[in-house]
Amino acid sequence: MINSTEARISHRLLKWAREKSALTLEDASEKMGFALECLAKWEKGDAFPTFEQLNKISELYEMPVRMFYLCELKEKIF
């Protein structure tokens, strides 16, 4: 069963947003207080952040939350 608090976002957009923000995985995890392993799993699509975690990500990367839910456009970005 899927955890109802998971934010089922695009892992590709998550990684792209971090790189666009000029942050390493280590820097981003430290600034947000997330375990490096968690952020790495989210960027690989092996797990998903919670909505609360996604809000922190959105603030740090200075991107609206809705950006991480794009489906059709993500293929054109990459």
Residue 70: the pLDDT is: 85
CA distances 20 to 28, 36, 64, Å, are 12, 18, 14
Alpha helices, DSSP H, located in 1-71: 11-20, 25-32, 36-44, 51-61
Distance CA 55, CA 78 (A): 23
CATH code of the domain covering residue 31: 1.10.260.40
| Number of domains observed in the structure of the chain | 1
Domain that holds residue 16: 11-77
Phi/psi for 50 (5° steps) reads: -80, 170
Reading the chain (78 residues) residue by residue, the pLDDT tens digits are: 455 589 999 999 999 999 999 999 999 999 999 999 999 999 999 999 999 999 999 999 999 999 999 864 545 555
For residue 42, being part of any structural domain is answered with yes
**pTM (predicted TM-score):** 0.83
